[in-house]
Amino acid sequence: MAARRRPRTTAWRVALLRHARADLAIRGTQSAVLTLRRHPRVARRRQLRASGG
């Protein structure tokens, strides 16, 4: 039984790793947004770049 379950568990581990990586990426973007909110100067620079000025 354990030998039969092994391939499934490996796929499950890979899925877990992928999910963890996606979660880390989401957390990274959230932290980046938080840092941008903390530093208005960076936000102003980005707004200038977006407006083309």
Domain count for the chain? 1
Looking at per-residue confidence, does 17 or 35 come out higher? 17
Decide: residue 36, CB within 10 A, 0-12 exposed, 13-18 middle, 19+ buried: middle
16-32 tens-digit pLDDT: 888 888 888 888 888 87
Q: d(Cα 51, Cα 34) in Å, to the nearest integer?
A: 22
Average pLDDT value for residue range 28-38 = 77
Domain with 7, as residue range(s), is: 2-51
